[in-house]
């Protein structure tokens, strides 16, 4: 911000604004993670992990706002051109910003994918766009060094385009989370893991969704109808145990046991399902 004040670089101003929004988006994400650790209540029986998805939507909104600010400042600089001062400091700030933001982006994305948090991955991608804006600052500084003033606002507009592309991608992923969408390969992985458990004859009514960075799984497993209730219960627990070990993120399961080959075992409720 100090270098922006003395240099007048609109590209560096864009980078500063984007970094500021990136820092601020960490606040709702931190609050969401803190809420997610609270125990379920009689009103919120599923807990508070959904707060993480709400924070992800706020991050997408912040990305869009930063893009609009960059577009506004870049357009204004076309109308009111200004010669950039202290070019060396501007280029240096851009290099430092690019390296720092890329390191932060890699860390957030890696951790977000490890724990299944799309909101944290989105925040990491947000940090990666900060690295892009910082590289645009370097380009603007080099252009100014050669007396080409238009490079500065053009670099700002290019950055705005990259930010808007990121916003569209992040909005799609977060909207999918909010609508209980999930990656098909995860569903395949869940089904394969259940079928490998000894005693499971079939898997039906499989439901998988993200709840924050928690994976919630519901499924009906068919077992031998002649085994004792306790054995069927033990098989269900074996299924849960297998799923806990299958994924690195927190897993919540609901396993229903049904007799294999007994077509009339659900007749009492079948008409409600239709």
Cα separation, 131 vs 128, whole angstroms: 5
Summarised one tens digit per residue, pLDDT across range 117-156 is 777 887 788 777 778 777 777 877 787 777 776 777 787 7
Q: What pLDDT, on a 0 to 100 scale, did the predictor assign at position 83?
A: 62
4 pLDDT more than 80: no
With both helix axes pointing from N to C terminus, report the angle between 51-79 and 118-145 in degrees, rounded to the nearest 10.
20
Angle at alpha carbon of residue 215, lines to 212 and 216, rounded to 5°: 105
Q: What is the mean pLDDT of residues 74-91?
A: 74
Summarised one tens digit per residue, pLDDT across range 20-57 is 776 777 788 888 888 888 888 889 888 888 888 888 88
CA–CA distances in Å: residue 266 to residues 173, 203, 205, 272, 274: 37, 15, 13, 11, 12
243 pLDDT more than 90: yes
Which of 170, 143, 138 shows the shortest CA–CA distance to 67?
170
Q: What pLDDT, on a 0 to 100 scale, did the predictor assign at position 137?
A: 77
Cα separation, 70 vs 40, whole angstroms: 42
Tokens 């051109």, located at residue: 81
Summarised one tens digit per residue, pLDDT across range 105-120 is 899 899 888 887 777 8
């Amino acid at each position: 911000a100090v270098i922006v004040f003395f240099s007048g670089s609109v590209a560096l101003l864009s980078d500063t604004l984007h970094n500021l929004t990136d820092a601020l988006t960490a606040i709702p994400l931190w609050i969401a993670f803190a809420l997610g650790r609270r125990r379920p209540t009689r009103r919120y029986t599923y807990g508070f992990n959904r707060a993480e998805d709400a924070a992800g939507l706020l991050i997408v909104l912040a990305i869009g706002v930063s893009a609009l600010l960059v577009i506004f400042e870049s357009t204004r600089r076309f109308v009111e051109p200004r010669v950039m001062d202290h070019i060396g400091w501007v280029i240096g700030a851009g290099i430092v910003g690019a390296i720092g933001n890329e390191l932060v982006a890699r860390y957030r994305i890696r951790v977000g994918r490890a724990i299944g948090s799309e909101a944290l991955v989105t925040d990491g991608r947000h940090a990666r766009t900060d690295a892009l804006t910082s590289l645009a600052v370097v380009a603007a500084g080099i252009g100014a060094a050669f007396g080409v003033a238009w490079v500065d606002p053009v670099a700002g507009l290019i950055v705005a385009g990259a930010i808007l592309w990121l916003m569209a991608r992040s909005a799609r992923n977060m909207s999918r989370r909010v609508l209980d969408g999930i990656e098909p390969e995860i569903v395949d992985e869940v089904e394969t893991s259940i079928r490998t458990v000894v005693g499971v004859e079939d898997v039906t009514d499989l439901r998988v969704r993200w709840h924050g960075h928690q994976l919630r799984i519901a499924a009906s497993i068919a077992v031998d109808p002649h085994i004792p209730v306790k054995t069927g219960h033990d098989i269900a627990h074996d299924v849960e145990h297998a799923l806990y070990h299958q994924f690195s993120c927190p897993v919540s399961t609901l396993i229903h046991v049904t007799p294999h080959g007994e077509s009339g075992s659900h007749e009492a409720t079948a008409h409600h399902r239709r």
